Structure 1
């Protein structure tokens, strides 16, 4: 199992996966941190915390998390109150076809873009919203299991219904959720520092010095709370940035490698293959 990329085994013609009402614990929770697909996590009950991109959230019953593709994240269940949650994974291209056919500017993925823009990935659902979402998830599971005629179309429609509701729910002006007070402030500052200086040379010793803690303590706490060591985290964020440049610009692979802070092209190729599962050129062609 690659600890950095989640692998999907769904039908290529229906790139959707649902893990319904799964109870997580520290032993069963695998350290999958990064994938291209979009993900929705809904908490049925239990407690724990989740790290998404740069911040920590305390997970509670009724919470919903919107995780855009290529976003580092890790769930940390409470050992005494294990989380039971549902996770819905899907390829973003799947849900956009109908809106394009209608020549409508509406995007089913806008809720993820808003979450990313606001750096706030958590939605708190009202009781009626929770009930309806749970019904839609149960319908999805039934379609996956029964495979009645038209089940693929039904799954896409149910997924789009969930996304439509999330788009109507999310508020661009909503207050941002900050990290838990139980976690050291220096860790949040370090995460923000990495984001601000991502393509520059930044070392463990520098981060530890700014946090006023020893490098060994910094490294241990960082790995414990994010699931990645410091250099893995920095490289993962650089590869995410490289993916954006590969799909959104005409820069050469060498130019993009340099723009993302990689000093050598061979190192960039090795890290891209490790974190993305393909070469930069192949990733650009497939997008």
Structure 2
């Protein structure tokens, strides 16, 4: 789902495009919780942009900050999901970076303390806790007031949510931003169901806090995901012993470093095939797989279909 600024979702409802950070702050405060916007590297030559797709009781924003910016808030009154599309967002309260294909979930009562990299784009979803509870039937205990979660891209609920957002963004384009109320209700129900499934999962696949050494390894991996990678590369990036890295991955992420590298690369390949970004061999090569037959076997074992089948299915949907 990686996009550039000129491909920010929901572009038919562009609400603001401005170099003025005070104007951007005023826009945010008029629609969601009060927050402070502090430019860190503002040179005045890059625009900030916000787009919008409202559903019945849920707001979806496309957000792009042209320069590095620090965003802070008090206790949030609504649930927030932040999905980076390009570059990284630093979550200072847990000393963690969130990158493309990961999701930051902030429950009511938590505080935003985020640093967006320059030219970072993301989708931001806000909704009242009562909407989620009413539509999904979740118990109040599922909301963990004040909690922060980082949801990992290999989780099936996360993949489902990304697919829904891709479809919704396409509907926005087809209907030039005017989605009928009945369809808004439909998309909102699907969206809430996907989020509720994640919250109700008895074995949630998420990262709340990673030790510094693991964060270094994970962030370095995301920055070099298109290259052929080994566990030794992660050991160097983390600055610890191989044994410490392997123990940390098992304890905090639930798999070995080698398995995590493979999952990240397969997820990237899967997303690019869904977006029909090249042939199977091109996608395999650009995701760091040097042998097409090996890539095909691993992909089929993970997704239950061959890369060619994924590409064909989504090419037909696009047409």
Q: Tell me the TM-score normalised to structure 2 length.
A: 0.41
More strand by share: 2
Q: Tell me the TM-score normalised to structure 1 length.
A: 0.45
Kindly indicate whether structure 1 or structure 2 has the higher relative contact order, using CA contacts under 8 Å at least 6 residues apart. 1
